[in-house]
């Protein structure tokens, strides 16, 4: 058996191959010791760890493990998952919306980090919690999908009142930028959460399309657990990326890219 583990800031992602089949699992970072127990109990397994918390995970392990630089593992995993989808892209951007967001250009078979933003999945959960008290990712996402940003986000057309705006009036001029002082007590949890997801989605796609200018490709592959069962975030990111002339792609099992790459490095 070969096992790849990506221990990130929020979630531990595991990919393992047994009898030619790949399995996936994910755990909150608080369950690191249980993951370590599982690894320590495996016999005849080759293991490779990656991610920002891989050093902490390794301190719980009684076995020899390989370690891989996170960005290289992600690159290898994305390549494999692309092939699984029947694609053979050799140049593309990868935007990993994890706890934070990191953007990479892959060309000539090498990856280069182009930048990132602190707005990511951690922001999604953190701001949502501060605004509504909720703590569960799935619940936040479910409620957000029934919300409207209409009363909270300020659009370009709201500023350009009575005259033609120089850019699309439908673009967001200011996330959370409407005059909220008078309506703050009327706003629903759904509206607030939808607007948080809008903020995160528009920020990561804005930074990504700008980064695409430094890469020979304009295909942006979005990965990271922030997109899990999160149709609203995908929709915001997809429409904004297309509007700005890039091509968005969501990878099947993309949140496991780092774990898959770590696993593949053992083959």
Residues 40-59 that bind ligand ATP (CB under 6 A): 51-52
- Tell me the two tokens of residue 149: 């940003």
Q: Give 82 or 94: the residue with its C-beta nearer to Mg ion.
A: 94
Are 118 and 9 within 8 A, CB to CB? Answer: no
Least distance in angstroms from the C-beta of 38 to ligand ATP: 18
- Give yes or no for residue 98 binding Mg ion (CB under 5 A): yes
Q: Binding mask 119-158 vs ligand ATP (x if CB under 6 A, - otherwise)?
A: --xx-xx-----------x---------------------
**What CA–CA distances, in Å, run from 218 to 83, 87, 100, 242?**
19, 15, 22, 10
Which residue stretch of 3-11, 126-134, 166-174, 196-204 sits at the interface with Mg ion (rule: CB under 5 A)?
A: 3-11
CA of residue 58 relative to chain centroid, distance: 24
Residue 11 pairs in a beta bridge with 28
Are 74 and 65 within 8 A, CB to CB? Answer: no
Residues 79-118 that bind ligand ATP (CB under 6 A): 98-100
Which residue stretch of 92-100, 104-112, 118-126, 226-234 sits at the interface with Mg ion (rule: CB under 5 A)?
A: 92-100
Residue 11 contact, options ligand ATP, Mg ion, none, Cβ 5-8 Å cut-off depending on partner type = ligand ATP
- Degrees, nearest 5: CA angle 226-229-231: 90
- Give yes or no for residue 8 binding Mg ion (CB under 5 A): yes
What order do you get walking across the sheet with 66-67 strand by strand?
21-28, 11-18, 2-7, 46-50, 66-67
Catalytic residue among 31, 64, 70, 150: 70
70 part of the active site: yes
Residue 100 contact, options ligand ATP, Mg ion, none, Cβ 5-8 Å cut-off depending on partner type = ligand ATP
SS3 94: strand
Q: Name the residues annotated as catalytic.
A: 70
Site residues (CB under 5 A) for Mg ion? 8, 98
């Amino acid at each position: 058996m070969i096992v790849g583990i990506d221990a990130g800031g929020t979630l531990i992602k595991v990919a393992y191959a047994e009898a030619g089949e790949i399995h996936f699992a994910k755990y909150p970072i608080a369950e690191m010791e249980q993951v370590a127990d599982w690894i320590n109990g495996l016999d005849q397994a080759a293991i490779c760890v990656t991610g920002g918390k891989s050093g902490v995970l390794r301190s719980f392990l009684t076995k020899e493990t390989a370690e891989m630089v996170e960005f290289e593992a992600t690159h290898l995993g994305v390549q494999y998952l692309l092939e699984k989808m029947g694609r053979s892209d050799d140049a593309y951007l990868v935007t990993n919306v994890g706890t934070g967001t990191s953007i990479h250009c892959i060309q000539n078979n090498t990856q280069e980090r182009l930048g990132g933003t602190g707005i990511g999945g951690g922001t999604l959960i953190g701001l949502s919690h501060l605004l509504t008290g909720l703590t569960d990712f799935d619940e936040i996402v479910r409620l957000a999908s029934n919300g409207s940003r209409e009363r909270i986000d300020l659009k370009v057309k709201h500023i350009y009142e009575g005259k033609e705006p120089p850019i699309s009036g439908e673009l967001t001029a200011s996330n959370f930028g409407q005059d909220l002082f008078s309506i703050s007590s009327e706003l629903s949890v759904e509206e607030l959460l939808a607007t948080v997801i809008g903020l995160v989605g528009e920020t990561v796609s804005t930074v990504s399309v700008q980064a695409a200018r430094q890469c020979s490709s304009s295909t942006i592959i979005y990965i990271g657990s922030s997109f899990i069962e999160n149709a609203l975030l995908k929709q915001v990111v997809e429409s904004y990326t297309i509007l700005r002339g890039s091509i968005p792609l969501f990878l099947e099992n993309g949140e496991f890219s780092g774990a898959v790459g770590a696993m593949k490095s053992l083959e």
